[in-house]
Amino acid sequence: MAESLFFNSKQRLWVGEALEIAESLAEDYFQVNLGNLGQFPYDLQTLANLQSQEKTRRALAQVCKYEWSKRTPPLKRGTKEFYRICLQDDKILDTVRTETSSLSLLKSLLLYIVTHELIHVVRFSMAPQRFFLRPEEKRAEEKDVHRMTYELLKSFADPQVGLWAERYRPWWGKCGLEAEPSVLDKFCHRA
């Protein structure tokens, strides 16, 4: 049977569950209300709903940033920002098949990825300049976000989540050019 490029309906439900859990964890960690779309404007899409510029071959997921100018009376201009978490279904499914030989750990990997990307969204929303960093600064940002992801998920009761958190823990010191190419590199956020 051919392997699907897209999440099936059950796996899309897991994405929704992962987002709910990640939002709760991030709200507690950062002491914010992610329901405040004025401060944290974002959404999450899977591969079937991504535009061509939102797809990547290099990552399991990425955060895309959109900006637009809005004219408000009296002739004031304001820039609005919006972030989209773009899950790359095919890369995520391939990673689970490659690293575990089955899809049994997909649900827990989705929680890790969604939590990781949501942390980026919160950090970018709070300090938009973080999105446009030089390569060495991006490596530091990625290292910090992996550490925070670990901190958020380390107390999570599911041992499978703990497996992914531990699997990506060594990456804290390896993000960037000095790291050996591996599946870990697929987590680097892309601007």
Measure Cα distances from 118 to 40, 41, 56 in Å: 10, 11, 18
The total of structural domains in the chain comes to 1
Give the predicted TM-score (pTM) of the model.
Answer: 0.85
Range of the domain at 146: 9-175
Any domain includes 112: yes
- The answer to whether residue 188 sits within a structural domain is no
Q: Determine, yes or no, domain membership for 4.
A: no
Looking at residue 64, its pLDDT comes to 96
Q: For 57-108, write each residue's pLDDT tens digit.
A: 989 999 999 987 766 666 555 668 899 999 999 999 999 988 877 788 999 9
- Helix ranges (H only) for 64-169 are 89-100, 106-126, 135-153, 159-168
Residue type, 74: P
- Residues 6+ positions from 128 with CB-CB distance below 8 Å: 81
**Would you say residue 43 lies in a domain?**
yes
* In a domain? residue 156: yes
Per-residue pLDDT of the chain (191 residues; tens, 9 = 90+): 457 899 999 999 999 999 999 999 999 999 999 999 889 999 999 999 999 999 999 899 999 999 877 666 665 556 688 999 999 999 999 999 888 777 889 999 999 999 999 999 999 999 999 999 999 998 889 889 999 999 999 877 888 888 888 877 766 555 443 333 333 334 444 53
**Does 73 sit behind a cis peptide bond, omega within 30 degrees of 0 on the bond before it?**
no
